[in-house]
Structure 1
């Protein structure tokens, strides 16, 4: 959510930031509502002062036997009481209008973010690894002989409909091993604290991280009122919801492996083959809560944590800075990490790492108390995939595929597989 004080002091800068996102100037409308709200509040306070003064005088008039003055003051008190109630209700209405405006607008991009319309305007900043050269035409993950029995889309469709998969045997084991490998790496080497949290959350938690109210159609609402999380970002970030923490407590760095649920609204006909885009999937998420002065440094650190997983697995990738037209609602800057998929002959997103500034913290009322004293300030929040487990499985299978349909598995993963090194063409661990 945006800071109304920033808009009051910097209306041109606010509109310039929106313009980079393709949004027309909004400061005039916002400030008009803000002015109306403040005017009503001031008028209510003035009326309350008049009522208080009349209240003090009414007793004196009664004591003097001045019935006319006594009745006048009583009538004034009643009049002011009604006026105060009316003004407070009008101020409440204007406050709701202002809040609706502030929560509906996306975060402003940092000055360094490239301006662009869509993914074609993203800027590559580095690559790691060389895509493997095959002496045969590489296949997509779902076409490999090694996974034919372990990746069942037909049975999943019978159970739940399209965009689900039933994994079993060696494929399920490698999928599980990948999640464990990611968690262990993040906790033992990257200093993150592992969390196992709920995948059903209250509506205010979805609001806190920006999924609501604007993007409700992208998630699933249960009949009891809970929302299924689209990612553990919701659970982990909201740990500090409505909290004032000590500055010495920062930074907080969390990681979690969880089921995630997305309706994939608006993606009809997109990535329908295989398990690249699913309604239910698993991710190892990273969330950091930091001091405002440290958030950009933390953004780079989190990006390296995600990249390190791919490097350990020997999977080629490239990292790009998203342009303004491709960023998410709550981000000020985002790095996308795209892994090489030889079956598609393309780099595909496997992680997005975003710095949100105080945008989510203001929605959550998450603050810290400075060590030297003073007024509590909003924390900064960051989130990123470390990594999407299913997409990492796809990359492992496609990059490790052999001419006979078997799959050689990354050496870094062997300890999590009991020393097994490959999936045979018959779908067995070996």
Structure 2
């Protein structure tokens, strides 16, 4: 069965230029052997490879520093670190399932973890999580990588998507912070002048930004891009309204080049002070600090708009970024020991401070720590931290409002929704026609791996 499904997945890879992982046999419970591995850390010896997607300088430097410290304390251990963008990482590990070119441990996105579990590619981390303190982690975050009682991923940090504003532009134009999508559009359109765009709408097919933005609109009304039975849901009235809303924003408030923007292109406009609004996590703060430090005093964030002000609060999109250990690793005991070291208070706080407010603690007891709170950016952006923390508690990964599922990973990683928006914008395809075609394509992909 597994071999048959992997063959099917390779066919999808050829068609889509990237592999979609299929369902595989679930890993056996390995807690007893893992416990002995965790306990026998003295005399660690061996070489491991760690793939991560912390491409920004400060985070990359802290991870390397932590690895250097670990190797100094364990002289018979060598840790090789390789860094990939999130999109490159997805292509790397999915093709690696067929070639055998996989790391010992890596970071991942929640939707990808489910695919990895279905491919029987990971080992459980129950023992490691208990050693650190299971009650210190959010149950929601742990459940994103849990199957049949086995926890296959361990959250490293948390963040959530929120609405970023420019206070000075709103004040100058006598505009309030938008609370509804209608208010948002009117404000964005009014601020599209004098070399400033109200809000860029990104549709690049190397990222899932258009999926993210459409999800904002649909989830704000309590809807979902997936049905209860995990089919694509792009032709509902709510989804069609959302598609038309972002097309309107693109037409009236966004640079035309944003049809090809990925996450960095999108964020850079805000970093440089060229957009009045954007949607992102607390990573916006460090980006503005590096690109336009004089604008920092005008930067803040608020909850994502709603259809109606009276609608209930929804967190929309939360990302609990985890680490995993691959089943092919010959030294899972080294991976676990190194992972555990990353939660040592001094190292962990230094890591979080590499992107203050952008990376929120995934374990309890850190946000109250005086060393953590002493960071000037965390002090300056106390309101933003509170907004993001509140949103993080309410939201889920895209598509995980129905619980962890591999369909969500396919939806975000195959960029079908991005192609849909490009088809509408570039070719003038009717919205409902394009939405139906994208919905059908996603459902075909879902079925091909079941």
The bucket for the TM-score relative to the shorter chain is: under 0.3
Q: TM-score, normalised by structure 1?
A: 0.23
Q: TM-score, normalised by structure 2?
A: 0.22
Query: Hey, which of these two has a bigger chunk of strand by percent?
Result: 1
Question: Taking CA–CA contacts closer than 8 Å with sequence separation of 6 or more, which of the two structures ends up with the larger relative contact order?
Answer: 2
Which has the larger Rg?
A: 1
